[in-house]
């Protein structure tokens, strides 16, 4: 308990809350006993993290709109991101779980780590209040927040590009594989994103999907550079085409 508390940067007054936050439901199931597991604390911790990460993003990115803040928050509280934080603090080795769950990789399973991290946030909130939970959120998520840089980045360039273009015209962009090279085990693809008959960007990737994502990212970068009051370049922000129908 002391080792985990030092990693978390918080000392519990009621350590039974921490013990419950670490208890996977499989432990009670295998032992045929009624044990308090972390599911209720997970429910509470999910809401606590949603609120506190919303606050951190709101203060850090003062120019970001609601849509962007919502997207970035959803990335931070995703099972994958929470599991990443859990692995960084070696949370898996502290979990209390049934032998069968452990044998099948439960200590390193994304869902187990994410659930336990949320439960810990809920436990800290109950034990120390909102300020303690806020300090925990800052402590655990600073690395991920710093990784966003000065502007939150959309992890879905294709979706962001489509949203931007369809605000101009309902026609969707499409992607075309221009070329591919290399042996089967190490192929390289070049993709172009086309919209209204115009090529907006090209990308290279080890798969068709990766090349398409890179093409969308290049198209977004090209458009961003021209978003100035006096721009005249023909980029994403200025391209228009006839409305169909």
Residue count (the chain) = 245
Residues 24 and 38 sit within 8 Å (Cβ to Cβ): yes
Residues 85 and 117 sit within 8 Å (Cβ to Cβ): yes
Residues 5 and 12 sit within 8 Å (Cβ to Cβ): yes
Spell out where 40-187 has E strands.
Answer: 174-181
Distance set, CA 24 to CA 38, 99, 127, 138 (Å): 6, 11, 20, 25
Bridge partners (DSSP) listed for residue 179: 190
Known catalytic residues are 46, 118
The pTM of this model reads 0.63
Tally of CB atoms within 10 A around 229: 4
The stretches in the chain having pLDDT less than 50 are 224-237, 243-245
pLDDT tens digits along 56-76: 999 998 877 787 788 888 889
* DSSP secondary structure letters along 205-220: ESSHHHHHHHHHHHHH
- The predicted structure's pLDDT at residue 234: 42
- The predicted structure's pLDDT at residue 185: 78
How many degrees, rounded to 5, is the angle at CA 152 between CA 139 and CA 189? 120
pLDDT tens digits along 145-156: 887 765 565 557
Query: Using CB atoms within 10 A of its CB, is residue 104 exposed (0-12), middle (13-18) or buried (19+)?
Result: exposed
């Amino acid at each position: 308990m002391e080792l985990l508390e030092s990693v978390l940067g918080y000392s519990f007054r009621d350590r039974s809350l921490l013990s419950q936050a670490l208890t996977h439901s499989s432990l009670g199931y295998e032992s045929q006993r009624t044990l308090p597991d972390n599911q209720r604390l997970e429910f509470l911790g999910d809401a606590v993290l949603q609120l506190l990460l919303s606050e951190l993003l709101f203060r850090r990115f003062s120019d970001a709109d609601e849509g962007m803040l919502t997207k970035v928050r959803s990335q931070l509280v995703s099972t994958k991101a929470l599991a990443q934080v859990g692995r960084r603090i070696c949370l898996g080795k502290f979990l209390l779980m049934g032998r069968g769950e452990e044998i099948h990789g439960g200590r390193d399973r994304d869902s187990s780590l994410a659930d336990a991290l949320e439960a810990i946030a809920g436990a800290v909130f109950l034990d120390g209040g909102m300020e303690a939970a806020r300090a925990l959120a800052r402590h655990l998520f600073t690395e991920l927040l710093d990784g966003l840089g000065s502007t939150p980045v959309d992890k879905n360039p294709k979706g962001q590009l489509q949203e931007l273009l369809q605000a101009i015209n309902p026609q969707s962009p499409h992607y075309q594989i221009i070329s591919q090279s290399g042996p089967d085990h190490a192929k390289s693809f070049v993709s172009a994103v086309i919209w209204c008959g115009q090529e907006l960007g090209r990308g290279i990737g080890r798969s068709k999907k990766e090349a398409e994502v890179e093409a969308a990212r290049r198209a977004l970068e090209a458009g961003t550079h021209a978003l100035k009051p006096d721009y005249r370049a023909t980029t994403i922000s200025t391209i228009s085409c006839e409305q169909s129908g």
